[in-house]
Amino acid sequence: MNNSSDYSTIIWSEPHCSKDALTDTYGWFMQFLLAVLAFTCLIGKRFCEPRYARRPWLIWFYDTSKQGLGAFLIHAANVWLSPYLTGNPCTWYIVNFMLDSTLGLLIIWAGIRLAQHCARVYDIPLINFGEYGKPPMCSAWICQCVLYAALATFAKSILALVLRLPPVVAVLSTLRLSPVSDPRLELAVVMLIIPFFINILIFWVTDNFLMYRPRGVNSKIKTKVRYQSIKKEKSGSEDEEQSADERLLAANV
């Protein structure tokens, strides 16, 4: 009886994933499949948009490529960090992923809103997410890609430092994805099944952040143009009134 209990304790305490499980052939296949499924959802989201508000393919690519770049950087950091942490690499990966999908997304959202505020206040359209000019400028897309990548890197760095705190490591290092004991099944759960369903929501919400077009950017330019058009209309009406008075005086003479 004691032997069976000891054996079950060993089963539950030993990590199921090896240190290189995330980067072997099977692990890379799971990551590639997740990327394909995630961006298929973004394509489906585009077709769910109303026809009058549906983005052209170029604008859609500009919006989603920023998210793809940020997701790649965060995912690469998780794959690289997980084997170096104490405990099960698969557990650490899913913990990192869940933090990135909640607190990390909140940090990125705050950064996007700050960039949009600066775009309105300082009239910098290049950092206004979703605005690329007419016609769309590649420079605006590159600038926003760099800014979004910086936000993703900053969010990942903050969360990585939190996970290095001794109390956090002491708690999370004992977690196991029990009762999943098969290493391949465990890897599929943490790198495909759970991330797929969460990414549907996260990618959808983040895409709305990136395609959002706040009002007020270039307000100074718009105000000047509007004022000049009103001034022209007033001057035109005054000229018409003056020519009408001249015609009346000439008729009286």
- Using CA atoms, how far residue 209 sits from 48, 115, 204, 212, in Å, is 16, 12, 9, 5
Q: Is it the case that residue 83 has pLDDT exceeding 70?
A: yes
What is the C-alpha to C-alpha distance for residues 125 and 135, in angstroms, rounded to an integer?
14
Total Cβ atoms within 10 A of residue 169? 15
CB 85, CB 163: distance < 8 Å:
yes
What pLDDT is stored for residue 228 in this prediction? 43
Distance, first Cα to last Cα, the chain: 127
Burial of 227 (0-12, 13-18, 19+ CB in 10 A): exposed
Q: Where are the domains of the chain?
A: 25-214
User: Are residues 210 and 113 in contact, defined by beta-carbon separation less than 8 angstroms?
Assistant: no
- Residue 231 clears pLDDT 90, i.e. is over it: no
- pTM score, two decimals? 0.74
Per cent of the chain over pLDDT 90 is: 39
